Amino acid sequence: MKKLLKFLLITFCSLNLLRYIHVLILTVIVLSCSLIAFQDYTLSGNVKLLHDKPNFMYYKDRHLLYQNGTSKSIKSCRRHIAQITINNGYRMSIAEGIIKKNVRFMKQPLDLQQQLLFHTQFSIEPCRGKVFVLIVINSHVNNTIRREAIRKTWGNQDSEINCTSNRLWKIVFILGMNDDNEPPTQAIEQEYKIHRDIILAKIIDDHRNLTKKTALGMFWAERYCKPKYYLKVDDDVWINKWQMLQYLRRRYKKVLPYNDRLWLGYVSRKNRIPIRDPDDKYYVSFRDFPGKLFPPYCSGFAYVMSEMVLTAMVEAMKCTPQLPGIDDVYIGVLARVINIKPRHNPRFHLHLRSRRRNRFTISEINATLAEHGVVSRSMQTALHKLALNAVKLSNES
């Protein structure tokens, strides 16, 4: 009997010991898995990342922000890339869990604040008060007439039939320079002093630097303005500001700001294959983008995004190398980084050159949010007057 009791006691203790060992092993495994996503990797093959909450919304200031309001800090940009960033065309996402092999990491994040200060000849004051829509316009330094046409039409911040105000509508022009070593011309300095709506970047104003100008505008908007909606436009575009405001106001009432994943424009179904010809204007090297197909993107002539998307994209810029000369594709890469899909809207008009223009009915003008290829002052004025008359007719009826 004593031997039996001794055997049972030893067996019981052994089982408890095994149970504790099992629990300890499971604990170590769980802790290891929760830390895997925050390790630095030298990738030689496919690596699976684990995370306790893969359904994050976006990140800000080295923190993952979740839908339930919690956040988790990230110690370095390098580790962050290993979780949710695209680098050189490869998909890396915690939600999908797989990192492609042969990924090259950036050792240091891009300091956009330093770039802004270094690359800016002169800038403008931060926004005062809340701005509903900030319009940042990429403009060539020599396109003075186009900027004046915009300021006198849809870019006019004065109140018109109680539809706009300074707090709702603000425009900023991003310009480069004709020569890095030359100071800005007296005409540009005078234009800046009069209007105070120009950011002059210390970069050559050519096609290859378009991405820098676009990134600079987005960073300034997120850092110094924080608008509810960010509208990026080229200086050969006309905006129906009344219809645009109406569209965004309705959306703002329906969608919570922290869950507004809007990136809206003309989503190109073509032009997604990189051009490898070095003599082509839109040449993309394999080093800049080794993939075979660009991610979906909104055409760069005009698109609008929410504050949440703007903030997330600016953060993603710190770890995502720029693509020279194809700024709209680069924004598409950033969108994939933060898991945002572009939304096509037929009210953004990208017309072919052969299409007849200058003929619009009231219904057609009301159906337009953005019209591309408006290069003359007379055309900007005509479209603006037509849209204004459409609003007056609507108010009278």
User: 311-314: which pairs have CB atoms within 8 A and are 24 or more residues apart?
Assistant: 311/58, 311/60, 311/222, 312/58, 312/59, 312/60, 312/338, 312/340, 313/218, 313/337, 313/338, 314/112, 314/218, 314/219, 314/222, 314/223
Range of 3-12, 18-27, 55-64, 265-274 with top mean pLDDT: 265-274
Query: What is the rounded distance in angstroms from the CA atom of residue 210 to the CA atom of residue 31?
Result: 45
Give the range among 54-68, 168-182, 225-239 with minimum mean pLDDT. Answer: 54-68
Report which of residues 294 and 106 the model is more confident about: 294
User: Largest alpha-carbon pair distance within the chain?
Assistant: 109
CATH level 3 topology of 112-396: Spore Coat Polysaccharide Biosynthesis Protein SpsA; Chain A (3.90.550)
Residue 294's pLDDT is what? 94
Question: Which of 116-125, 172-181, 226-235 has the lowest average pLDDT?
Answer: 116-125
Condensed to tens digits (0 to 9), the pLDDT of residues 194-212 reads: 999 999 888 889 998 999 9
**Quick one: pLDDT at residue 51?**
32
- CA-atom Rg of the chain in angstroms: 26
pLDDT at 113: 54
Q: Which of the pair, 75 or 94, is modelled with greater confidence? A: 75
Q: Poorest-confidence range of 80-84, 160-164, 167-171?
A: 80-84
Q: Domain coordinates of the chain in residue numbers?
A: 47-99, 112-396
Q: What is the pLDDT of residue 339?
A: 93
Residue 155 pLDDT class (50, 70, 90 cuts): very high
Per-residue model confidence (pLDDT) at position 93: 32
